[in-house]
Structure 1
Amino acid sequence: MDKNQQAIELMKEQKYEEAAKLFNDIIEENPQDPVGYINFGNLLLHINDPERARRFYERAIELDQKAATAYYGLGNLYYEESDFPKAQKNFLTAINIGLKEADAYYLLGMTFFHQEEYKLALPYLLRAVELSPEDTEYLFQYALSLAQSEHIDDAKPVFQKVLELDDNHSDAHYNLGVISLYEENLSNALDHFNQALEIQPEHVLAANAKKQIKEVWKNTGM
């Protein structure tokens, strides 16, 4: 196991000081290698020191403008700061350079989602789902973006796929309930809202939707 791998393992074990010392040794031994700076940046970001992390990522890019994971690290940094335009720029650069991992596409899609540009989010979230089809978070956010883009018929089977993988996903039940309301199937909607509340009793949106259905039935004598 080389030093980089040893330091990464120490990070996983939450031995951050030991990992930092090892990353520092790696940089001193190979000051022109961007990998050490990227890994140290990842450690700093993980322990909530974004300003120092930024400097390490930027140094890695100075050494190698094709260091895709350095741009990805900066993307994560800006994403956590809710600076979505800057996060978007860095994720896109990382992907264009050659980082084809599902998480990069997912986070790029989410930068558009958080700016309510749902249609622009769709191709990136779809690619994340294609690369990691069993990831319920990718599937859920893709379905949500479809729904927000008014592609209700396309969103429905994706929400259902989420429940196939995780039948305790309260938000998938809630959104399927909303789609059932759109389809004017109040009984099915109520069933989904009840399941959402069974999983997550404090689900406010599901509780409000259930209350509204009950009011409709009461007022119509159903």
Structure 2
Amino acid sequence: MDKNAQAIQYMKDNEYEKAAELFNELIEENPGDPVGFVNFGNLLLHINDFVRAERFFKKAIELDEKTATAYYGLGNLYYEQEEYDRAEKNYQRAIELGLAESDVYFMLGMIFQQKEQFKLALPYLLRAVELSPDDYEIQFQYGLSLAQAEYIEEADKAFKEVLKKNPEHSDAHYNSGVISLLHGDAETALHHFEESLRIQPDHVLAANGKKNIEDILKQE
């Protein structure tokens, strides 16, 4: 395992000091290589050292202005600080420079979700789903944006897809329950709310949904 791979593994294992030592060695050995600065920036971002992380990403861009991963890193940095316009600009630049991974499209979708521009989120989240079809969390966020944009039938399909991949997804059960209720199917809605509460007993929205249905059924 080379130094870079070892440092990334240390990061995954939460051994940040060891990772920092190796990234620092790599930068000293290859001061003109932007990759070392991007990786160190990612480490600093991971430990919420935003000021220094920004410095490292910008240094990588200074060395090579076409370093797509540095713009992605800046996008993540600004997203974490809720500077969504700056994050969007950097994610878009990363895509322009050839970064075509699902994560960058997903994060762009999440920006528009945060701005409550749900229809604008959809093409980015759909692209993320296409690139990572097995990632049920991406599928769930896509379904959520579909529901928030009032594409109810499409949202229903997306939540069902999530539950195929992960039957224990409490929020997908809850949202499926809401859609079932909109369709007038109280029995299926109740099932989904109960499943949501089985998986996550403190799911307040599912508890409210279950109570409301039970109250209606008592009155019938």
The two structures have a TM-score, normalised by structure 1, of 0.95
1:56 paired residue number: 56
Shift of 1:3: 2.7
Shift of 1:96: 1.4
Q: Secondary structure at the match of 2:153?
A: helix
Rounded to whole Å, the distance in 2 between the matches of 1:189 and 1:12 is: 40
Shift of 1:153: 0.7
1:93 paired residue number: 93
Shift of 1:197: 0.9
Q: Secondary structure at the match of 1:14?
A: coil
1:123 aligns with 2:107: no
Shift of 1:4: 2.0
The percent of aligned pairs where both chains have the same amino acid is 61
The superposition leaves residues 123-162 of structure 1 with CA deviations (integer Å, 9 ceiling, x where unpaired) of 0000010011110100000011011111001111110011
1:198 paired residue number: 198
1:111 paired residue number: 111
| Residues 15-94 of structure 1 mapped to structure 2, 5 A cutoff | 15-94=15-94
Deviates most, 109-118 or 10-19: 10-19
Shift of 1:25: 2.0
Rounded to whole Å, the distance in 2 between the matches of 1:201 and 1:6 is: 40
Shift of 1:76: 1.0
The two structures have a TM-score, normalised by structure 2, of 0.96
1:164 paired residue number: 164
Deviates most, 97-106 or 26-35: 26-35
2:137 paired residue number: 137
Where structure 1 has 5 or more consecutive residues not aligned to the other structure, the ranges are none
Rounded to whole Å, the distance in 2 between the matches of 1:17 and 1:74 is: 22
Shift of 1:86: 1.5
The superposition leaves residues 12-54 of structure 1 with CA deviations (integer Å, 9 ceiling, x where unpaired) of 3333222212222222222221111101101111122111001
Shift of 1:2: 3.2
Rounded to whole Å, the distance in 2 between the matches of 1:16 and 1:22 is: 10
1:214 paired residue number: 214
Deviates most, 34-43 or 5-14: 5-14
The superposition leaves residues 101-125 of structure 1 with CA deviations (integer Å, 9 ceiling, x where unpaired) of 0111111110111110100000000
| Number of aligned residues | 220
Where structure 2 has 5 or more consecutive residues not aligned to the other structure, the ranges are none
1:153 paired residue number: 153
